[in-house]
Structure 1
Amino acid sequence: MTDRESFKHYVDWVRDAHAMEEQAETMLKKMADRLEHYPLLQQRIVQHIAETQNQQRLVRAVLERLDESNSVLKDAAAKISAFGQGIGGLFASDEVVKGGMAGYVFEHMEVASYSALISAAEYVGDLEGATVFRQIKAQEEEMAAWLQENLPAVTLEFLRRSDNPDLDAKR
Structure 2
Amino acid sequence: MSTSPEEHYHDWLRDAHAMEEQAESMLNKMADRLEHYPELRQRIVQHIEETKQQQSLLKQLLDRHDIHNSTLKDAMGKMAAFGQAVGGMTTPDEVVKGGISGYVFENFEIASYTSLIAAAEHVGDAEGVTILTQIREQEIAMAEWLYTHLPDVTQQFLLRSSQSGVEAKK
Q: Same fold (TM over 0.5)?
A: yes
Q: Identity percentage over the alignment?
A: 60
Moved over 2 A (4+): none
Q: Distance in 2 between matches of 1:168 and 1:77?
A: 32
Q: Which consecutive unaligned segments of at least 5 residues does structure 1 have? A: none
Q: Distance in 2 between matches of 1:56 and 1:13?
A: 14
Q: Distance in 2 between matches of 1:9 and 1:28?
A: 28
1:47 paired to 2:46: yes
1:98-134 superposed Cα distances (whole Å, 9 cap, x missing partner): 0000000000000000000100001001110110000
Equivalent position amino acid for 2:7 in 1: K
2:45 counterpart SS class: helix
2:25 maps to 26
Q: Distance in 2 between matches of 1:145 and 1:153?
A: 14
Equivalent position amino acid for 2:136 in 1: K
The number of residues matched between the two structures is: 168
State the Cα RMSD in Å.
Answer: 0.7
Q: Distance in 2 between matches of 1:83 and 1:20?
A: 13
1:163 maps to 162
Q: TM-score w.r.t. structure 1 length?
A: 0.97
Q: Distance in 2 between matches of 1:38 and 1:22?
A: 24
1:135 maps to 134
Q: Distance in 2 between matches of 1:105 and 1:70?
A: 25
- Structural mapping, 1:95-134, within 5 Å: 95-134=94-133
1:14 maps to 13
Q: Distance in 1 between matches of 2:68 and 2:39?
A: 36
1:72 paired to 2:71: yes
Q: Which consecutive unaligned segments of at least 5 residues does structure 2 have? A: none
Q: TM-score w.r.t. structure 2 length?
A: 0.97
Query: 1:166: how far off?
Result: 2.6
1:150 maps to 149
Query: 1:5: how far off?
Result: 0.6
Q: Distance in 2 between matches of 1:136 and 1:165?
A: 43
